Amino acid sequence: MDADVIVIGGGLAGLVATSELVRAGKRVIVVDQENAANLGGQAFWSFGGIFLVDSPMQRRLGVKDSFDLAWQDWQGSAAWDRLDGEHPEDEWAQRWGRAYVEFAADEKRTWLQEHGVRFTPVVGWAERGSLSARGHGNSVPRFHVPWGTGTGISEPFADEARAAAETGRVVFRFRHRVDGLTFTAGRVTGIHGSVLAADDSPRGVSSSRQVVSTFELSAQAVVIATGGIGGDHERVRRWWPERLGTPPKKMVTGVPAHVDGRMLDIAADQGVRLVNRDRMWHYTEGVQNWDPIWPGHAIRILPGPSSLWLDARGRRLPPPGLPGYDTLGTLRLLRTTPDLADYDYSWFVLDQTIIKKEFALSGSEQNPDITNRDRALLLRSRLGRTAPGPVEAFKTKGADFVVAATLDELVRGMNDLTGDHLLDPDAVRDQVVARDRELVNPYSKDAQAMGIRNSRRFLGDRIFRTAKPHALLDPAHGPLIAVRLWVVTRKSLGGIQTDLQGRALNAEGVPIAGLYAAGEAAGFGGGGAHGYNALEGTFLGGCLLTGRTVGRAIAASL
């Protein structure tokens, strides 16, 4: 045997599994098709939000949370409905979902702190939901931001793996692409594949696929932790569900190109059961990066609640199509409305006051204050008189931003930007005026107006995330800004079906000896721990829980 365990994928889930295995005294080979610069995978690029339940940070901000409330929210969001038949697709997904909420409400924070992860005092209220108590969404703020953003989560585990490599407990095999699993008497005993040409491209940049040789490696157990399909638009379209309408002709990409789902198809071809492949998570607030790293590189806007959201024809989106509320509900609105099928974008209309306080950009590189743990810069950028520097850069240089002094000028710029000339200035003005009238009083019948005021009742949002209600047409808050929004590919919610030890199952629902799966490749647990919807802060968390579980299960079994 070349090692006790082979981990395929050097992302967060694979690194966490490796951490647990090394701590148990096991020898690990980490195999990844990219170079050493990419250790940490997608997590490195993320904003890093972590879903925690009843944390000290929540309590300090007056948030009353509990396992029962969080589990109610998770079930309402997941809406698992594939529970019938001999081997239901959601059988293990549902169990993993509960295990995750238990983890988030119990030892997750202290375990992360033991690994060197530290959190800012900021708790965000992400994915506020479909406006019903038992439906999708977070009833309270649970989005905890780590110092270092995504790097603050991934780098402690990457550093552990690098340190273990210096002592020989971990061996890295970068630029090794896995082409298949090796079976011996029905048990997975290794992998085989292609060695790719050396490539010193920076992190995230597309790399060469030239094959220079082949390889084989053996071990007592193999872990698949290779992520999802978000970097391959053709795979996304192949699995796009009818319930979300038609896939856009143009999408932008929220993950590096190597996140291509290739290993998932290889596993399926070799008898591994994949479930819920039509469940996926794509954002509707993507903008094209003016300084891209990978092809089609998009940045997602994490919006506060105040921007006016218009479809391509200039009509205000109905609830739950409100900024920051219901990701897939909004995607469904935009992709199932018949007269929008030919248009792949929508619009935010806002002003300088809103962009200054309410726009955050997803990604470690877009948040230098938190990524670099610079508390002084955090206060200046988040509470200053201008928008944070990266936001202002997008406003100035971004291909999807229009800035104007008057509404007529703004609409003219929006029409010029798309070339579709779908927007009627008078109709847009009617939408804006109607919205502004609903903010005159501290109460309203308008769902968005109610949401803005509800948001400001939470201390964290009032300080950091929600502008004081005001009229968009008030010149004191100008200039006016429009942002063209695209669908940005991001996460697979289905994947390899696993039991609660992370063992990969076959078509008969039986564990395949020696084979495990973790992270997005396993649908964040069981092939679909999120069900149909995510509550945010749960993708990195799913990698943490599944990686930890798999590492401990393998260590106990060898």
Q: How many CB atoms lie within 10 A of CB 432?
A: 20
Residue 315 DSSP code: P
Task: Report yes or no: 525 and 100 within 8 Å, Cβ to Cβ.
Answer: yes
Give dist(CA 473, CA 429) in Å, integer. 9
Q: Beta strands 495-496 and 298-303: pairing type?
A: unpaired
Give dist(CA 112, CA 104) in Å, integer. 11
Task: Report yes or no: 317 and 336 within 8 Å, Cβ to Cβ.
Answer: no
Q: Tokens at residue 377, please?
A: 């810069």
Q: Tokens at residue 150, please?
A: 């995504």
Burial of 436 (0-12, 13-18, 19+ CB in 10 A): middle
Give dist(CA 455, CA 506) in Å, integer. 46
Q: Tell me, what's the pLDDT at 369? A: 80
Residue 507, classed as helix, strand or coil, is coil
pLDDT tens for the chain, 558 residues long, are 999 999 999 999 999 999 999 999 999 999 999 999 999 999 999 999 999 999 999 999 999 999 999 999 999 999 999 999 999 999 999 999 999 999 999 999 999 999 999 999 989 999 999 999 999 999 999 999 999 999 999 999 999 999 999 999 999 999 999 999 999 999 999 999 999 999 999 999 999 999 999 999 999 999 999 999 999 999 999 999 999 999 999 999 999 999 999 999 999 999 999 999 999 999 999 999 999 999 999 999 999 999 999 999 999 999 999 999 999 999 999 999 999 999 999 999 999 999 999 998 888 788 888 888 877 777 676 667 678 889 999 999 999 999 999 999 999 999 999 999 999 999 999 999 999 999 999 999 999 999 999 999 999 999 989 999 999 999 999 999 999 999 999 999 999 999 999 999 999 999 999 999 999 999 999 999 999 999 999 999 999 999 999 999 999 999
- Residue 526's nearest CA partner among 536, 516, 534 is 516
**pTM (2 decimals)?**
0.96
Per-residue burial over 92-126, b if 16 or more Cβ lie within 10 Å, else e, is bbbebbbbbbbbbbeebbeebeeeebebbebbbbb
Give dist(CA 282, CA 254) in Å, integer. 9
Q: How far is CA 29 from the centre of its chain?
A: 27
Residue carrying the six token digits 């997941």:
78
